[in-house]
Amino acid sequence: MKPLGVALLAACAWSAQAAEGDAARGRALVASREQGLCLLCHAAPIAEQRQQGNLAPDLAGVASRLTPQQLRQRMTEPRAGSMMPVFGPTAGLQHVGERWRDKPIFDAQQLEDVLAYLQSLK
């Protein structure tokens, strides 16, 4: 597994200010067509949302494939060459567009909520 990067360490410290994640709120964020936009690329076990993506891995069973740390890392420090955006703070990351610097997609609580939902998908 890849060692913890600067961005992931910053995201962990940033998330420490949040309460424990709520999977129901996280599910709503994943399903949201206005904020998370997860379903543009991913499919997920959210039957009421049609037209889910197929560009990225299906989120069904993601918790059986990735550890909680790996899930957090994927959301806060995507791999090079990935289209996945950074959902947490951008401190320590390179190639962040000026428009998006210091403007995370999710706040610390929302990130924890989405991670709680993803961890429920076994």
Q: Decide if 1 is inside a domain.
A: no
Provide the b/e sequence for 83-112 (b: ≥16 CB within 10 Å). eeebbbbbbebeebeeeeeeebbbbbbbbb
What string of pLDDT tens digits covers the 122 residues of the chain?
A: 445 566 566 666 666 778 899 999 999 999 999 998 999 999 999 999 999 999 999 999 999 999 999 999 899 887 767 888 888 877 767 777 777 777 788 999 999 999 999 999 99
pTM of the complete model beyond 0.95: no
Kindly tell me the sign of the dihedral angle through the C-alpha atoms of 60, 65, 69, 73: negative
Q: The domain containing residue 14 runs over which residues? A: 6-119
Number of domain units in the chain: 1
CA atoms of 89 and 75, how far apart (whole Å): 10
Q: Decide if 55 is inside a domain.
A: yes
Domain CATH number, residue 60: 1.10.760.10
